[in-house]
Amino acid sequence: MPVGEGMLTRRSVMGMIAIVPLALTGRAQAMPCGDPATLSAAQKSMRKSLGFKSPAPDPAKHCATCAFFTGKGVDCGPCALLSGGIVPANGVCDSWAKKG
């Protein structure tokens, strides 16, 4: 049976199956920084107790320049003070310490 335009081939279906998990993974990683409403109650409480703000009012003091931020060249990354919780690079809290 000839394969015409608009028909799905086994190869095209396999390609789609390979792409879907990558798209979902990217979405899952983007969620903690993109939507604070998705944080757990413990994460919200910790951020509140540390006076976390996003974006930071002082452009020189933000998570990306903090010693506790372990993300590398990304918009979001783990904060060691928040037990590895993900924070946006442009946020800041009262415990900001200059990266050495």
State how far the Cα of 89 lies from the Cα of 100, in Å rounded to an integer: 17
Q: Minimum distance from CB of 50 to ligand SF4 (Å)?
A: 6
| Sign of the torsion angle spanned by Cα atoms 25, 27, 28, 34 | positive
The residue assigned the tokens 């903090």 is 66
Nearer to ligand SF4, 33 or 81 (CB): 81
Piece in contact with ligand SF4 (CB under 6 A), picked from 4-12, 15-23, 25-33, 80-88: 80-88
Residues that bind ligand SF4 (CB under 6 A): 50, 52, 63, 66, 68-69, 79, 81-82, 87, 91-93, 95-96
